Chains A and B, each alone.
Chain A
Amino acid sequence: MTSNAAISITGLNKSFGTTSVLKDISLDIAPGERVVVIGPSGTGKSTLLRCLNYLDRPDSGTIRMGDLTVDPATASRSDILALRRRTSFVFQNYALFANKTARENITQALITVKGQSKADALARADETLRETGLADKADSYPAALSGGQQQRVGIGRAMALDADLMLFDEPTSALDPEWVGEVLDLMRRVAEKRQTMLIVTHEMQFAREIADRIIFMSDGQIIEQGKPEKLLESPDDPRTQSFLRRVAKTGPN
């Protein structure tokens, strides 16, 4: 596969107990590529994302990002830290630091992890908050923000890290329907910057709009992948066809 991929995943396996959740996943994502993963619940989509930054440690398989190769057989603590510092992660449940304001949620990692000066981090945080439309909420704590606002801060926190790859784990699934739109709008703006993104979502319309490639996962495996029009309109695999029929009937989520 190409060595200039943003991330190269080879033969990734992960089990929880006796349940095999990821089965020999291999995947390359090019710099600037926006990849959306769809598929039935419980098929390992989130686990795939969580294995990419070792929130869940894979059982086997390598992850390569630039000059960094991480293999669970040999991965040291500093390898894992390096991998996490090349990725950023947006959580389904936002996972904002509860003891930090919106602004501090963004500056925290810039200062402690990236070693930026306080002034630089503050400037970046304020810029990010403006971009996310939350300039007036800079001093609010997460508990005082709506779900949509919290997730926008969560995306802002990830954006400010300037990671080589942004991972989105069902970023709108926990939101009340009224907040979904504003979060998707923000993700569209991130996508427009040609940020490399790997997104797990059930928002099919959104996937169609922004994805360069859609991956259909089922039962821990990549069943089929391709351009949005192709995969969503004339999928080859019967499992993809049946999933899309079910989604079309019930609507997203």
Chain B
Amino acid sequence: MRALDVEYMWELVPVLLGYVPLTLFMALIGMFFALILASVMAVERVFRVPVLDVFVRLFISFFRGTPLLVQLFLFYYGLPQVLAFLTTINGVTATIMGLTLHFSAYMAESIRAAILGVDRSQWEAAQAVGMTQTQMMGHIILPQAARVAAPTLVNYFIDMIKGTSLAFTLGVTELMGATQKEAAGSFLYFEAFLVVAAIYWIMVEALSFAQRHLETYLNKAYAR
């Protein structure tokens, strides 16, 4: 057994922190598109639009049913072989794409359940005042569903942040890839991965803190 090289770890911190923005960028952009895609699919699943419903169910089934890593390889290494215009796809784009599609499938199911959980009286009241379906969903149903779905969605976002580390397998030098390179240079694998683990952990904890505030905010209408 040897002592931890604390000095090396300390020096590594600022180096690795420099890659945090890329990690957050991939996760945030992925989350942004995944939320939109998931909401659209969730609403579709609630109303069961003919024909479209078949495709949405197939999409959700595939992206929930296969590993994220397989999907990433499919996009990055596989698709360019069959779709010529994708030959220029870079690792970051492929990762964002993979995260978006993968997590939108999960999120669509949570949002759908949350929509169906909104009390029937809320739908009827919106209809009775003469709202169109779009107005009803936008102003009344989705905001109320968001409150129910929020904790689960934040959990998916946490998973997404950690999922960005798979970009490393597509040759992207992000947080994980940079750590791997640093460790390979110094041979201090334990120290390097301990530092990167701490960085991921702190990011997720900060998010959990934000989550509590988000939930307080979303619950403000329901306080007695």
Contact = CB atoms under 8 A, between A and B. Distances in A.
Interface in A36-89: 53, 55, 81, 84-85, 87-89
Given A53-B128, A95-B121, A108 B139 contact: yes
B130 A109 contact: yes
B131 A113 contact: yes
B220 A81 contact: no
Interface string A161-200: 1000000000000000000000000000000000000000
Nearest to B145: A99
Contact of A89 (B128, B221, B222): B128
A112 B135 contact: yes
B155 interface: no
A91 interface: yes
Interface string A3-32: 000000000000000000000000000000
By CB atoms of chain A within 10 A, which of B125, B131, B140 has the most? B125
Interface residues of B, number: 23
A100 B126 CA distance: 12
Interface of B, secondary structure class, is helix
Chain A interface residue bracket vs B: 20 to 34
Contacts of B71: none
A231 interface: no
Contacts of B129: 84, 88-89, 108-109, 113, 157, 161
Contact of A91 (B121, B130, B132): B121
B221 A100 contact: yes
A89 B223 CA distance: 26
Interface string B112-153: 000000010110111111111001000110011001000000
B128 A143 contact: no
A82 B124 CA distance: 16
A119 interface: no
Interface of A: 53, 55, 81, 84-85, 87-89, 91, 93-101, 108-109, 112-113, 141-144, 157, 161
14 contacts: A84-B127, A84-B128, A85-B130, A87-B128, A88-B129, A91-B124, A95-B122, A98-B122, A99-B143, A108-B140, A109-B129, A112-B131, A112-B139, A142-B221
